[in-house]
Structure 1
Amino acid sequence: MIDAKNVTITDSEWEVMRAIWTMGSTSSRELIDAMNELQGWSDSTTKTLLRRLIKKGAVEQTGESRPFTFKPVVGEKESMSAAADDLFDHMCAMRAGSTIAQVIKTRKLSKSDIAELQQILAEKAKDAPEMVNCNCLPGKMTCEDDH
């Protein structure tokens, strides 16, 4: 597997990757049919997205002749973590906590997910600063108004 941090996936490509991750290994016909059913996409739309994902190194094509087989080269969990890290790397550090809280409020979580989050937060609380430093443009910080 390649490092998911090195692969940027668009919203539409995420949909294709989710299908490939679910199937594990798939033919283009199976993938086209799945994306038509799930998204209503034409054959050419799915083929275009698949070609982009192969070019990015996220998907691998195997086989010497048709039907080719396609399988993921980047892991699902690793890709989700890389996308989340990328998002948080682009926002004000002072707003990360409230953003995470909002995500938790709006997502359905299992009891085991909640227990894991509680354990992680309890551990982080041991050496957490009173306030996270802003990483915005100096002199242009509006995030401090939120605190």
Structure 2
Amino acid sequence: MEVKAQMEISDAEWEVMRVIWTLGSATSHTVIEALSEKMGWKAATTKTLLGRLMKKGALTAKKNGRAFTYFPEIPEQEAMDVATISLFDHLCQMRAGATLTALAKHVSLSQTDIANLQKLLTEKAKTAPEKVSCNCLLDDCHCQ
């Protein structure tokens, strides 16, 4: 999973990316209008975020007259996967399972999603350890 060397995308930048991923590409006007409605942002806020995403390499732009059309340089699913894996890399391994359970309770899942998860968990169960090792501070772990 490459996603531009694991770039950090802020919560606000995710909102911009969602608009562009949803549409496939979008003019600055379209992004500004969408985020003004959804988030109540001023045009300057959205333009600043578009600029940041360009600098990070998450977006490219093509000039059409006075307007710009923005294109995603990172696939949405790949960005989501990298962000999630990055988050879980920072969590206590012993508590990751509980966090996944809470996540599964929170998100909407299709029948296909559930079937895929069940299949994956059945496979993982074959080689899963009895207990996951702690990866917290050696002398100061309170997980046990």
Q: Show the counterpart of 1:58.
A: 58
- Unaligned segments of structure 1, at least 5 residues: none
* TM-score, length of structure 2 as denominator length: 0.95
CA distance in 2 between counterparts of 1:81 and 1:7 reads 12
Establish whether residue 128 from structure 1 lines up as the match of residue 128 from structure 2.
yes
Offset at residue 64 of structure 1 (A)? 6.5
CA distance in 2 between counterparts of 1:92 and 1:138 reads 12
Q: Show the counterpart of 2:84.
A: 84
Establish whether residue 117 from structure 1 lines up as the match of residue 141 from structure 2.
no
Structure 2 SS opposite 1:71: strand
Closer/same/farther in 2, CA of residues 82 and 4 from structure 1, 3 Å limit: farther
> After TM superposition, what 4+ stretches of structure 1 lie above 3 angstroms from structure 2?
none
Q: Show the counterpart of 2:3.
A: 3
Of 25-34 and 65-74, the range deviating more from structure 2: 65-74
Establish whether residue 39 from structure 1 lines up as the match of residue 66 from structure 2.
no
Percent identity over paired residues: 50
Aligned length: 143
Offset at residue 65 of structure 1 (A)? 4.3
Write the letter of the residue equivalent to 2:99: T
Establish whether residue 19 from structure 1 lines up as the match of residue 30 from structure 2.
no
Please give the root-mean-square deviation of Cα atoms over the aligned residues, in Å: 1.3
- Per-residue CA deviations over 1:32-83 (Å, capped at 9, x if unaligned) read 1111111111000000010000000001011364221101001100010011
